[in-house]
Amino acid sequence: MSKRGLYSMLGLALAAAVIPASGVAGAAGAKTVTLKDIAFTPSRLTVAKGTTVTFSWKDDGTRHNVTSTGRKRFKTISDRTSGARPVRFGKAGTYRYECTLHPGMSGRITVR
């Protein structure tokens, strides 16, 4: 194999190791917050601007909502027992939220 061919292969291998699975370095991806066992999991999340966070109900029919409570707000997701709802976070800041049906069930998403 020529030096040029060897360098090309090494370059491709290095690129594959550095670029995340999304295919674009630094691209905003998708994340999930699960509502289960009367908790948001994870309860704290840091994402890049433009990331879509999907809230997913997995609490065996227990009713929950996702109510935005901080200075930075997103549209509240009304009471439900199953399914999933995506929320796109396009602006930097800290977004706090809670389930108003279960005191202490809260979380926050930091967008950078």
pLDDT tens sequence across 31-49? 999 999 999 999 999 999 9
Give bridge partners of residue 77 from the DSSP assignment: 66
pLDDT confidence of residue 2: 55
68: left (phi over 0), alpha (psi -120 to 50) or beta: beta
Give the CATH number of domain 26-111.
2.60.40.420
The pTM of the full predicted model, rounded to 2 decimals, is: 0.74
Length of the chain: 112
Domain range annotation of the chain = 26-111
Closest C-alpha to 105, from 65, 47, 45: 65
